[in-house]
Structure 1
Amino acid sequence: MRPKTRPRRRGIRIAVWSLVAAVLVAAGLAGTVLWQHSYDLDERRVTIRHGGHVLNAVLAVPRDGRERHGLVVYVHGDGPVDATHDDGYRPIWEANAAAGYASLSWDKPGVAGAPGNWLDQSMDDRADEVAAAIAWARARPDVDGDRIGLWGASQAGWVLPKVAARTPVGFVVAVSPAIDWLRQGRYNLLAELRADGASPARIEAETARSDTVRALLARHAGFEEYVAAMGGDAHGMTADRWGFVSRNHTADATRDLPALRGVPVLLVLAGQDTNVDTADTERGYREALDAGGALTVEHYPDAAHSLVKRSVERSDLRLALTALFSPRSLFADGFLDGQRRFLDRSGRAPVQGRALSSR
């Protein structure tokens, strides 16, 4: 009697072809990820020296064959941000490259092995750092010194006009900037409480705690006094962070925005921003800059503070999958094209004041 081998062989064939199919799918997915994270630019690691400090930077250059390019210098928002912002800047750098601009960004002090501690900085320190980076760039033969501008998000709103007061800049892109530190903090607190569905009693308690913190800051209280006032619970605050807030809590862009008069400014505002009161920001920028005719305002109704689509940001899974498989589509529709168009205009002629709504 012959052994029954056919079913066994058939099972082996099915297993083999299933494995082959799985490998092909995995290879296809890997290829998709690699393709999606391949940007039309070349990145170079560079070192910038500033007053005894070292900035570990990335210079992203267009692949257009030109020997000289304009330059967009990046000013980070709050937090321990590295040069690429965990790769989040790269789609924006690609949009810059499409307009013929290189991009320059660096690890904050103390981030990704960079020397120093960003929490030791004031907004003036940060502005000095950016001005030094611009001076470094102007000395390079591959940078067009007449076409250097700034791109900054969130906390950078207190840095950008200070830089413009120190050194000439050709343009500014301000993404979700705030005007007044304390007003921004209160707006953020209440917006997040409302988003959480907080009860009136909780809102009252959190507001009272915030008022206590403000009183401590006003009298220059130390970290130990802060912890004692909070009943021994630091609420995530560290001594370094308390020092940073103490140095910067009086920041108010109103005093510095006049330095941007006559400079083409693109103000980018998100419609779902729980960090910054965009109406307050737009009002402040218009009061300071509209008369010069160089302010452009773009609204993105469906965007969160980071200009990522709010629908994407709400889901950790969707955010992770989009970042992996389609990083350019993280951002609100039209945002990347809006950056490119603004740079394209800024490189050719003065920008006329206007208010745009991108949908």
Structure 2
Amino acid sequence: MHPKIQPLRRRLSIALWSLVTALSVAAGLASVVLWQHSYAMDEQRVSIRHGGHTLNGVLTIPKDGRKRHGLVVYVHGDGPVNATHDDGYKPQWEANAKAGYASLSWDKPGVEGAPGNWLDQSMDDRAEETTAAIAWARARPDIDGDRIGLWGASQAGWVLPKVAAKTPVSFVIAVSPAINWLRQGRYNLLAELRADGASASRTSAVIAKSDSTRRLLERHATFEEYVKAMRGDLDGMTADRWRFISKNYTADATRDLRALRGIPVLLALAGHDINVDTADTERIYRAVLDTGGALTAKRYPDATHSFLKQSIEQSDLKVTLTALFSPRSLFADGFLEDQRRFLKDLGRGSSATP
């Protein structure tokens, strides 16, 4: 045998087995991803007519063999959010399904090809949209119209009580909801400056710019006037966004919250929230709702505003890998389970305390 043949065969053999091993590992990882993204519920696309437009929605139904289910209607926070929140809602929908509840959500106007523009909406517009979705759900034979409630996060804090004032809801899950637009904006601004370690001079300059923006809003300034006043330093502001803020900057949920009196409310508050002053939120929710005895406030020390674990959200790589291989682990400890138990307890006629 030629002396070079045996080493060559050895190298080919090593390369072949390395390839087989790599393919096996890849197949194994793919199987894990598929398994982790298989949720215990049936999912279907639905269309909801509202105001001459169509809401492109997703309805998930528990796989428990029952003909009718209660329903959790999802109200998004700020931003161009699609029906599944890029699949981020699915672990929550699964928790709802385990409690015997269906879930309903839809693309915001202008998102994923949906008609309209979500930046054209006021909080009242969003409440009307949600009310229409509830009416659509009540007409379905597979939904129990007496067990329809709301889930909403952040900006949805201004929408949830408006919906409850328009149509009966049997419960509310409020996730770090905002109370007052201007107070929330200032809290977020200062929290981000502190997180960035901003100097005193930079902090003063940013606050001055914020105060100038408020004055422009109060006198109903146009976007062109805003651009001129900011001398081109728009910090991402667009004409659509300016119009949206102009419509909604006076939002305050305090008085509207009275519509939730007597309704079981789970108030979920994040321990690392730089967007919403959760202490202010809890204080006002307790002041308005505690008299009815139906409020349960729950704090999650390791949660950020998005209710991801802070240790994960701090790293884009950790977020990506966790979302791929263990999406349920993204959320703060206890958050999904508390939501499931809250819904389950409603069916038992309990106080719905997690």
TM-score normalised over the length of structure 2? 0.99
- Counterpart CA distance in 2 for 1:258 and 1:350 is 22
Q: What CA deviation, in whole Å up to 9, does each residue of 1:286-337 have, x standing for no partner?
A: 0100000000001001110011001110111111111111100000010000
- Counterpart CA distance in 1 for 2:126 and 2:255 is 17
Please list every run of at least 4 consecutive aligned residues from structure 1 whose deviation after the TM superposition is greater than 2 angstroms. Answer: 1-4
Work out whether residues 294 and 350 of structure 1, in 8 Å CA contact, stay in contact via their aligned partners in 2: no
- Counterpart CA distance in 2 for 1:4 and 1:110 is 66
Tell me which residue corresponds to 2:111: 111
**2:222 paired with 1:222:** yes
SS in structure 2 of the partner of residue 254 of structure 1: coil
Tell me which residue corresponds to 2:86: 86
Q: What CA deviation, in whole Å up to 9, does each residue of 1:121-157 have, x standing for no partner?
A: 0000000000000000000000001100000000000
**2:6 paired with 1:6:** yes
Tell me which residue corresponds to 1:95: 95
Counterpart of 1:167 in structure 2: which amino acid? T
Compute the displacement of 1:4 (Å): 3.5
Tell me which residue corresponds to 1:347: 347
Gaps in structure 2 of 5+ consecutive residues: none
**2:182 paired with 1:182:** yes
Gaps in structure 1 of 5+ consecutive residues: none
Q: What CA deviation, in whole Å up to 9, does each residue of 1:144-190 have, x standing for no partner?
A: 01100000000000000000000000000000101100000000000
Compute the displacement of 1:234 (Å): 1.5
Work out whether residues 264 and 350 of structure 1, in 8 Å CA contact, stay in contact via their aligned partners in 2: no
Compute the displacement of 1:255 (Å): 1.6
Counterpart of 2:104 in structure 1: which amino acid? L
Tell me which residue corresponds to 1:140: 140
Tell me which residue corresponds to 1:20: 20
- Counterpart CA distance in 2 for 1:238 and 1:4 is 69
Tell me which residue corresponds to 1:59: 59
- Counterpart CA distance in 2 for 1:233 and 1:306 is 28
- Counterpart CA distance in 1 for 2:53 and 2:71 is 22
- Counterpart CA distance in 2 for 1:79 and 1:108 is 9
- Counterpart CA distance in 1 for 2:137 and 2:178 is 28
Compute the displacement of 1:350 (Å): 4.7
Tell me which residue corresponds to 1:75: 75
Compute the displacement of 1:232 (Å): 1.6
- Counterpart CA distance in 2 for 1:229 and 1:193 is 22
**2:200 paired with 1:208:** no
Q: What CA deviation, in whole Å up to 9, does each residue of 1:214-241 have, x standing for no partner?
A: 0000010000000111012221000000
Q: What CA deviation, in whole Å up to 9, does each residue of 1:252-292 have, x standing for no partner?
A: 00020000000000000000000000000000100100000
Tell me which residue corresponds to 2:295: 295
Tell me which residue corresponds to 1:254: 254
The equivalences for 1:234-313 within 5 A come to 234-313=234-313
- Counterpart CA distance in 2 for 1:341 and 1:220 is 46
Compute the displacement of 1:3 (Å): 4.9
Counterpart of 1:97 in structure 2: which amino acid? A
SS in structure 2 of the partner of residue 300 of structure 1: strand
TM-score normalised over the length of structure 1? 0.97
SS in structure 1 of the partner of residue 302 of structure 2: coil
- Counterpart CA distance in 1 for 2:302 and 2:233 is 36
SS in structure 2 of the partner of residue 112 of structure 1: coil
Compute the displacement of 1:348 (Å): 2.3
Compute the displacement of 1:48 (Å): 0.2
Work out whether residues 161 and 260 of structure 1, in 8 Å CA contact, stay in contact via their aligned partners in 2: yes
Counterpart of 2:31 in structure 1: which amino acid? G
SS in structure 1 of the partner of residue 254 of structure 2: helix
Counterpart of 1:304 in structure 2: which amino acid? T
Work out whether residues 182 and 249 of structure 1, in 8 Å CA contact, stay in contact via their aligned partners in 2: yes
Q: What CA deviation, in whole Å up to 9, does each residue of 1:3-57 have, x standing for no partner?
A: 5321111111100000000000000111111111110011100000012111000
Compute the displacement of 1:78 (Å): 0.1
Q: What CA deviation, in whole Å up to 9, does each residue of 1:59-109 have, x standing for no partner?
A: 011111111110000000000000000000000000000000000000000
- Counterpart CA distance in 1 for 2:246 and 2:139 is 36
- Counterpart CA distance in 1 for 2:237 and 2:2 is 77
Quickly say closer, same or farther: Cα 1:2–1:86, change in 2 above 3 A.
closer
Compute the displacement of 1:351 (Å): 2.1
